[in-house]
Amino acid sequence: MTDIVISGSGLYTPPHSISNDELVQAFNQYVDRYNTRHKDEIADGTLTPLEYSSSEFIIKASGIKSRFVVDKEGILDPRRMRPKIPERADEELSLLSEIGVAAAEQALERARRKAEEIDLVIVACSNLQRAYPAIAIEIQQHLGCSGYGYDMNVACSSATFGMGAAADAIRSGNARCALVINPEITSAHLNFRDRDSHFIFGDVATALVVEAEAGCRSDSAFRILGSKFKTQFSNNIRNNFGFMNNCHAETRDSSDKLFRQNGRKVFKELLPLVGSVIHEHLQQMQLQASDIKRYWLHQANLTMNLFAAKKLLGREPNEQELPIVLDRYANTSSAGSVIAFHLYSDDLQPGDKGLMSSFGAGYSVGSVILERC
Ligand code: COA
């Protein structure tokens, strides 16, 4: 069987960062405005007042300290609370493509590949900017790649599922060298007026070059030893945005058309699923958890990652084993585990093994075991 490698990775970080304190201040101003506007209904008991958010809660419950965003001003304006992202003309490169291209160019450079050598572009992310034409095809055209491209969405697990799809396409002979790109403008699907979730997400883009090991030019490649994927339906993380919203004028703009979750239930149900997928994957590969030098896990919640790693290892993980980026990037959906891989893989030596795992809505879980070439 053809050995497949990740020969390069790339990361685009937006220019603006929002701290918890800044976010909470804007949210609490919104709460004051709302409660003042509705003081009569609140006084006669027909409306429940909104409650303040707090930085202490956010850091304790999630481990998130700040997040990067494509626009800060619109999010922090208590009268608006959504990013200002101007619409672009059809002839202009779309924003999702723009940040995807920035990450892809870095990945190509690291892989020592030219764009014209890429014959498959997969854009794998949680939120696609439009129905069609595919963002991947726009990027293919913009970079000058050959072959074909398509978009796919497995929510937070999109990156690992995308890597699997790229590896399969190369093994089957449909492609020789692929780009898997994860542009995530999560701030546009986040409800900044929802106390339970306004702090969760951040914007970013990541990219990976996936190709056959034979012919790979990179000096920092990782061989894909194996992958395992699992999905199991759940409504606990859901977003009802879609093309049929237009058919229901009354509910078109309601809050269920943005991200929402039952965080507690997700915690309880998803963690055992993640644990069992990774455990079974290691068993199938005849590996022990301790054979894995690095765990690049999905970056949603610090406690969740510490819990998952502790369960696998039978002890507390150290910082080298379990790199954390969610403190400064927040949850970047599909891109989280790839950011961790991009920033924390250079020091691994030939033969060292690492495990990338994504998990989230669906539910969906992906596990990919890598070995430094
Ligand atoms: N500020 C202050 N208090 C808040 C708050 C905020 N922003 N948001 C909620 N609270 C309060 C709640 O009202 C609740 O109060 P109560 O105990 O008086 O009822 C309390 O804090 C606990 O709320 P809860 O939602 O149960 O918190 P949690 O400990 O479960 O943490 C998450 C919330 C979302 C951080 C956590 O559940 C999580 O990360 N889950 C996993 C999510 C995940 O991985 N999703 C994948 C998405 S891709």
Output the domain CATH number for residue 361: 3.40.47.10
Name residues of the chain where pLDDT drops below 50.
none
Does residue 280 sit within a domain? yes
User: Residue 301 C-alpha to ligand 1 middle, in angstroms?
Assistant: 11
Length of the chain counted residue by residue? 373
Mean pLDDT of the chain: 97
Does residue 146 sit within a domain? no
Please tell me the residue having the least CA distance from ligand 1 atom 23.
196
Does residue 267 sit within a domain? yes
pLDDT single digits (tens) 140-170: 999 999 999 999 999 999 999 999 999 999 9
Please tell me the residue having the least CA distance from ligand 1 atom 39.
301
Pocket test for ligand 1, best of 55, 204, 297, 301 (most atoms within 8 A of CB): 301
**Confidence at residue 2, expressed as pLDDT on a 0 to 100 scale:** 87
Among this protein's residues, is 156 annotated catalytic? Answer: yes
User: Residue 68 C-alpha to ligand 1 middle, in angstroms?
Assistant: 21
Does residue 145 sit within a domain? no
CA of 126, closest atom in ligand 1: 48
Does residue 143 sit within a domain? no
CA 158, CA 180: separation in Å to the nearest integer? 10
User: Residue 231 C-alpha to ligand 1 middle, in angstroms?
Assistant: 24
Pocket of ligand 1 (CB under 6 A): 53-54, 57-58, 61-62, 156, 195-196, 237, 261, 263-264, 266-267, 300-301, 304, 331, 360-361
**Helices within 144-207 (DSSP H only):** 158-172
Report the alpha-carbon angle 78-84-87, nearest 5: 150
Give how many domains the chain has, as a whole number. 1
**Confidence at residue 1, expressed as pLDDT on a 0 to 100 scale:** 77
User: Residue 50 C-alpha to ligand 1 middle, in angstroms?
Assistant: 15
* Contact status, residue 321 vs residue 179, Cβ threshold 8 Å: no
Does residue 207 sit within a domain? no
User: Counting beta carbons within 10 angstroms of the beta carbon of residue 257, is it exposed (0 to 12), middle (13 to 18) or buried (19 or more)?
Assistant: middle
Please tell me the residue having the least CA distance from ligand 1 atom 9.
196
Token pair recorded at residue 206: 């990541």
CA of 54, closest atom in ligand 1: 1
CA of 199, closest atom in ligand 1: 7
3 state DSSP class of 182: strand
Q: Note the Cα 227 to chain centre separation in Å.
A: 18
* Contact status, residue 114 vs residue 101, Cβ threshold 8 Å: no
The catalytically annotated residue of 145, 156, 177, 216 is: 156
User: Residue 267 C-alpha to ligand 1 middle, in angstroms?
Assistant: 10
Nearest to 101 by CA among 44, 134, 140: 140
Nearest to 167 by CA among 106, 101, 109, 228: 228
3 state DSSP class of 217: coil
CA 343, CA 341: separation in Å to the nearest integer? 6
pLDDT single digits (tens) 248-306: 999 999 999 999 999 999 999 999 999 999 999 999 999 999 999 999 999 999 999 99
Please tell me the residue having the least CA distance from ligand 1 atom 34.
263
Does residue 213 sit within a domain? no
Please tell me the residue having the least CA distance from ligand 1 atom 21.
57
Concatenated DSSP letters of 355-366: EEEEEETTTEEE
Does residue 287 sit within a domain? yes
Its domain, for residue 351, covers: 222-372
User: Residue 40 C-alpha to ligand 1 middle, in angstroms?
Assistant: 29
Please tell me the residue having the least CA distance from ligand 1 atom 48.
360
Beta-carbon contacts of residue 215 (< 8 Å; ≥ 6 apart): none
